[in-house]
Amino acid sequence: MDDASPPKWHLAHTTWFFETFVLGAFDASYRPYHERFEYLFNSYYNGVGRPYPRARRGALSRPTVAEIYDYRKHVDESMRALLNAHDETIQDRVALGLHHEQQHQELLVTDLKYNLGNNPLLPAYREDLAGTPGASAKRFPMSFVEHRGGLAEIGAVEGFCFDNEKPRHPVLLQPFELADRLVTNGEYLEFVFDGGYRNPDLWLSEGWSRISNAAGAAGSDDVNGQLPVEARLAPLYWYRDGDSWHEYRLSGASTLNLDAPVVHVSYYEADAFARWRDCRLPTEQEWEIAATGLPVTGNFMDADVLHPLPIQCSLQRGAQHGETPGRLAQLFGDVWEWTSSPYVAYPGFRTLDGTLGEYNGKFMSNQMVLRGGSCATPPGHVRPSYRNFFYPGDKWQFSGIRLARDL
């Protein structure tokens, strides 16, 4: 898949980000480590130059992983002097670079899962993850938490944030209610059994077109009982073996945990599921207002299991905490929650100056906002005002469903 990059590319790209936007911007004596790395490791900044085609990143056998670590070490060392400079502009830029790197830490995990989960061997990322417990607690019944709507404010308040979270501004909401927990695998399986993928009334036109094509592709490629991942009329990484359902996780293939949150669904699937339940998805305004004031805690990427590897994720663990029905649970750190809001500018939105203005603003077409953060998100990276965005057909992120209803 063109959207997924190999680990070493993420490693080089985040290094290049510091080299270009910190060293290149603030250290007049700095010389690029390699004249062609800008072409290879620029992701999408046209202001810097045309990037190497994304779809071919996987074919780059050079530089090697070792050479990229050398590059990284060189840039790290060059950064030291600047970090001690006590210059606020530089420190802000470094902070952006660190948050950028956190985003790529998550992408590295999702891309790696995509690569391994599409390998017919379904290899585990690490063997020692096999025992990682899933959500063992029985899921409590879904109930809905009411909100009166009315005038409120959304947008970043203080601390680090991306440009797309600003400016803070008033919004007007109709009364609504949100489900107190995420939709589970078990609930999604009911949708599958009820013919959810065969009923066009439930689907947006573009979603229906995709699953119609997938059904056709499945017909031709269903070999040895294993569907190609794209063609499954199910969440990504689900597959069926006779009457039982399985999913690929970073610990390898395992039986589908019916109580864990459903994950790796597209916006089209989330939207169709909600319609099947006579519900809808929340808007991003509703989500943010409901989440504001609640603690930003959850199943974030577990620092304990990171060592000695730079990054990993055991997922999907679901919420194993003693959460109380009737309060909003699983808002942060399990799955990114699809909202019904297209990703557009807030009133009065201004991009960052210069090339970094390309960071967020230029993607404001055809994508949908997701909120909350997933188990692959580094701890401390998200906040109630955080706006993630992906195309409505994307399934390789840890994306799930929370239901909403009009009151």
Which residue from 218, 258, 305, 311 is in contact with a second copy, where contact means CB under 8 A? Answer: 218
Cβ at position 145, least distance to a second copy in Å: 18
Q: Answer yes or no whether residue 2 interacts with a second copy by CB under 8 A.
A: no
Q: Answer yes or no whether residue 46 interacts with a second copy by CB under 8 A.
A: yes
Q: Answer yes or no whether residue 49 interacts with a second copy by CB under 8 A.
A: yes
What residues from 328 to 347 belong to the interface with a second copy (CB under 8 A)?
Answer: 340-342, 344-345, 347
Q: Parallel, antiparallel, or unpaired: how do β-strands 336-342 and 399-400 relate?
A: parallel
Q: Answer yes or no whether residue 55 interacts with a second copy by CB under 8 A.
A: no
Binding string to a second copy for residues 243 to 272, with x set by CB under 8 A, is what?
------------------------xx----
Which residue from 223, 244, 278, 307 is in contact with a second copy, where contact means CB under 8 A? Answer: 223
Phi and psi, residue 390, nearest 5°: -145, 165
Which residue from 32, 200, 326, 380 is in contact with a second copy, where contact means CB under 8 A? Answer: 200
Give the rounded distance of the alpha carbon of 193 from its chain centre: 27
Nearest to 186 by CA among 115, 255, 107: 255
> Tokens 């991942």 — which residue?
229
> Tokens 């379904």 — which residue?
122
Element (H, E) at 176: strand 176-179
Taken in order 299, 304, 305, 311, the sign of the CA dihedral is: positive
Nearest to 390 by CA among 358, 342, 347: 342
Q: Beginning with the edge strand found earlier in the chain, give each strand of the sheet holding 252-255 in spatial order.
A: 238-241, 244-249, 252-255
What is the spatial distance between Cα 371 and Cα 403, in angstroms, rounded to a whole number?
13
Q: Answer yes or no whether residue 216 interacts with a second copy by CB under 8 A.
A: yes
Which residue stretch of 25-33, 38-46, 68-76, 92-100 sits at the interface with a second copy (rule: CB under 8 A)? 38-46
What residues from 347 to 386 belong to the interface with a second copy (CB under 8 A)?
Answer: 347-348, 357-358, 362-366
Q: Parallel, antiparallel, or unpaired: how do β-strands 150-154 and 169-173 relate?
A: antiparallel
Binding site for a second copy (CB under 8 A): 36, 39-40, 44, 46-47, 49-50, 52, 56, 58-63, 115-116, 118-121, 123, 151, 169-172, 174, 200-201, 203-208, 212-213, 215-221, 223-224, 267-268, 340-342, 344-345, 347-348, 357-358, 362-366, 392, 406
